[in-house]
Structure 1
Amino acid sequence: MPGVPIALENVAIAVRDLDATIRFFTDLGLTVLGRDEVSGAWADTAVGLDGNHAKIAMLQTPDGHGRLELFEYIHPDAIETEPTLPNEIGMHRVAFSVDDIDDALAIAARHGCHPLRGVANYADVYKLTYVRGPSGIIVMFAQDLTAR
């Protein structure tokens, strides 16, 4: 049975501090496409929460193909959870290709975000690292070493 036509629209991430998270991702090179506050019956229905009210922002990667929707709940109250670990089931990470992993790590460090362990070299093809970003988001940076 063939699937339906489908395209990835965005990845949505709930955050503690929308402005701080926007600063982190825009410093990495993403662009804010728009910001809004959403609420009302349509939002309750779409999300499945009564009284749903959130501040949102849509960001786009420089290549124009990837989008992140960030949202900070006003109502109902956001539920704090422990940051996920790389081996936990569920939303795992957001991954970005970068031209220079050291530059990306310097930007992340300015936001207090550092590698979980270090930078790995995968078969002299990629340099890879995971950092713990704002609100505990795991962000992977990958530098293609063959694209010199």
Structure 2
Amino acid sequence: MTIAFENVGIAVRDLDETIAFFTDLGLVVAGRDEVSGSWADTAVGLDGNHARIAVLNTPDGRPALELFEYIHPDAIETEPTLPNEIGMHRVAFRVDDLDAALAAAARHGCLPLRGVAQYLDLYRLTYLRGPSGIIVMLAQELGESPRS
């Protein structure tokens, strides 16, 4: 048996807003669709499943995120996840210029939860809350030169 990572799926309030956020950070839209029908009901486990979806990849074509905005059934709002809660709570990206990535996030009103930290001599990193409350970790490996 072989296994390969496909993507992380995240339900969002506003698909277009979330796509804009992640494409400003450098992800690329690989495709968009609207899904519904009995196959979708069976696969997802929801009757009447109907959603708008988008798949975003890193620029090198590696899989990253599948975003979906529910048309039916209605999306259920929850409290924003905290970093120490059990379950999936963040997506992480390595960037070559953390300051540029933070400037892009700030254009969407998304700021670090507390600030930028340095982990040993390895990374500068931060957590921020993106669209729909998604926690996004951005990390710049030290020693990499920022884009000019």
User: Which interval holds the TM-score relative to the shorter structure?
Assistant: over 0.9
Cα distance in 2, alignment partners of residues 110 and 132 from structure 1: 13
Q: Does 1:132 align with 2:135?
A: no
From 132, 144, 148, the counterpart of 1:147: 144
Give the structure-2-normalised TM-score.
Answer: 0.95
Shift of residue 78, structure 1, vs aligned partner:
0.2
- The Cα offsets for residues 75-101 of structure 1, whole Å up to 9 and x where unpaired, read as 000000011000001112100000111
- Identity, % of aligned positions: 79
AA at the equivalent of 1:146: G
| Residue 48 (structure 2) aligns with | 51
Runs of 4+ in 1 over 2 A off after TM superposition: none
1:33-53 CA-to-partner distances (Å, cap 9, x unmatched) read 111110000000000000000
Distance apart, 1:71 and its partner CA: 0.2
Residue 125 (structure 1) shift:
1.3
Q: Say what the alpha-carbon RMSD is for the aligned residues.
A: 0.8
Aligned residues: 145
**Structure 1 unaligned residues grouped into runs of 5+:** none
Alpha-carbon deviation of 1:26?
Answer: 0.6
1:6 corresponds to: 3
- Write out per-residue CA displacement over residues 99-133 of structure 1, whole angstroms, 9 at most, x where no aligned residue: 11100000000000000000001112100100000
| Length-normalised TM-score, structure 1 | 0.95
